[in-house]
Chains A and B, each alone.
Chain A
Amino acid sequence: MKDFIKVENVSFRYDSNDTVNKYVLNDISLNINKGEFVALLGHNGCGKSTMAKLLNAMLLPEKGKVFVNGLDTSEPDVSYDVRKTVGLVLQNPDNQLVASIVEEDVAFGPENLGIEPDEIRRRVDEALKAVDMYEYRAHAPYKLSGGQKQRVAIAGIIAMQPQCLVLDEPTAMLDPKGRDEVMATIKKLNREKGITIVLITHYMDEAVQADRVVVMDSGKILTQGSPREVFSEVELLKRHRLDVPQATELMYRLVGMGFPAESLPLDEDECIDRLSKILK
């Protein structure tokens, strides 16, 4: 389905009486298709977290409109349905878990939706299996690692069976191992369950794994396209003080020094491939 989420000319600022500060989001438009994996990149303060909250009606646009599955988020009484469709996972896993037992925390969302106990049980088990945390279902969250906690938080959202998952820097507080675990989980959910993913991140290596990368800068969309398209615009990204993946950076510099290369690589394997061709 096209235009599953539609952001139309949205402007937003946190204090509408504030005439000094600029808008956090400035006349921004974005479409997200069903089943897509979109990465939203940008600096701190570029408005990407605000964008996340606009997508599930935690915030409402000042100008413009956000449609989720055809529902206008600014209409009264739709926030419940919007949040059922678009689940939001936040940065700090510690502050998202409500109960002191993993499975009871995952059950929190479905319980709020008023679902029958047997069905909740089924959904909780399914969600925990989907994030590979089933064997930890009776554990206390504070005894888990950061990556495990974040996966429990994701399970808590997918137990509500949303069609879209928005993750606001879910790996920012995790160690490399936890980051890999969470990324693997996100990709699995996208691939196997067809859940639409909007991943907000400032790790380029994570953005590379998406179908589409949207780069934001000071409340606007700077550029968007497939990871390969976006990261080949190295000059543009550098001008806005944004990084490119390390492999791309290396090759970019080598090309600048006169080495021949047909296109810039996105990850280490591709980079090795190109380098070995040059060295032959």
Chain B
Amino acid sequence: MLKDVTLGQFLPGVSPIHRLDPRAKILFLIALIVFIFITSNYISLALVAAFIVALVFMTRIPVKMYLKSMKMILFIVLFTGIINLFYGRGEPLVKIGFLQITEAGINNAVFVAVRIAVLILASSMLTFTTSPTDLTDALERLLKPLTVFHIKVHEIAMMMTIALRFVPTLLEETDKIMSAQKARGADMESGNLIKRIKALIPVLIPLFVSAFRRAEELATAMECRCYQGGSGRTRMKRLHFGKADLYGLAACLLVLCGVIICNIFLPATVR
């Protein structure tokens, strides 16, 4: 039941996107998010969306996987889209009671929906093509300058690595405990919301107890392997910006120019 979570899953592959430097990928994602939000008319929005869709195809990951991760947030897309539909100003096209739909409203709705959808597409692309360890590793290296402000970057990255490592283990354990409780006659599927939440308590308590026990053992194991925090530690993987990352950078700059030109020379449809 907990197995079909696609968001944040890593799908190994050998596509050009997979091979980009993870630090570059994080920066490109941030850049793309910025691009999506500075677009002010349909042409530039289409430009960014087309760029991202092209990248999606370059990952050589079945489009089905992307659609699956979109499905999870479909409700949010529709909800914000519909809310925005009624928020436009100007001449009403349709009037239902106190609600009115205007042209600006329709534009807003389309923009918001497309922006969120593209956002999810771009971030799933990052997690699909980058292993969690690469991701945390890249974050650690990108955030390294923050150690100047006494932010414990290494410790945060380590916690993320361990958390990601134990997600499948704890999911499996949850399944086991639920089966064990069901075998003893626990009823988790019927009754109202409050009743069902109460039924989860006998699952959560053993889960927490075992998580703490695991944490203690893991700490012992890490100590046995001479873990002493971030100082004096080296990494096996060397990261370097390569040619592919430069091409990526060039493509991003090109899209940025496109967006800026469109924004300047074409009338803005949303503010």
Which residues of chain A have a CB within 8 Å of any CB of chain B? 56, 58, 80, 83-84, 87-88, 90, 92, 94-101, 103-104, 107-117, 120-121, 124, 138, 140-142, 153, 156-157, 160
Contacts and interface: CB of A to CB of B under 8 A. Distances in A.
Given A95-B214, A98-B165, A142-B168, A111 B222 contact: no
B161 interface: yes
B227 interface: yes
9 contacts: A95-B217, A96-B221, A98-B218, A99-B161, A100-B165, A110-B234, A116-B234, A138-B12, A140-B168
B222 A98 contact: yes
B165 to A, nearest CB: 5
Interface residues of B, number: 30
Given A80-B226, A109-B225, A142-B172, A99 B217 contact: no
Contact of B217 (A96, A103, A112, A138): A96
B238 to A, nearest CB: 5
B232 interface: yes
B236 A94 contact: no
Contacts of A80: 226, 228
Interface of B: 12, 131-133, 161-162, 164-165, 168-169, 172, 214, 217-218, 220-228, 232-238
B228 A98 contact: no
Nearest to B217: A95
A120 B237 CA distance: 9
Contacts of A92: 217
Given A83-B225, A114-B233, A142-B172, 17 more contacts: A58-B220, A87-B225, A90-B220, A95-B221, A96-B221, A99-B165, A100-B165, A103-B236, A109-B226, A111-B235, A112-B227, A116-B234, A117-B235, A117-B237, A117-B238, A138-B12, A157-B224
A111 B233 contact: yes
B214 A94 contact: yes
Given A99-B133, A142-B168, A142-B169, A120 B234 contact: yes
A57 to B, nearest CB: 10
A124 B234 CA distance: 14
A115 B225 contact: no
Contacts of B12: 138
Contact of B224 (A56, A101, A116): A56
A98 B161 contact: yes
Contacts of A99: 133, 161, 165
Contacts of A83: 223-226
A56 B238 CA distance: 31
A58 B225 CA distance: 11
A107 B233 CA distance: 11
Contact of A98 (B162, B214, B232): B162
A108 B169 CA distance: 19
B217 A108 contact: no
A100 B160 CA distance: 11
Nearest to A82: B226
B261 to A, nearest CB: 43
Contacts of A120: 234-236
Contacts of A96: 217-218, 221
A58 B223 contact: yes
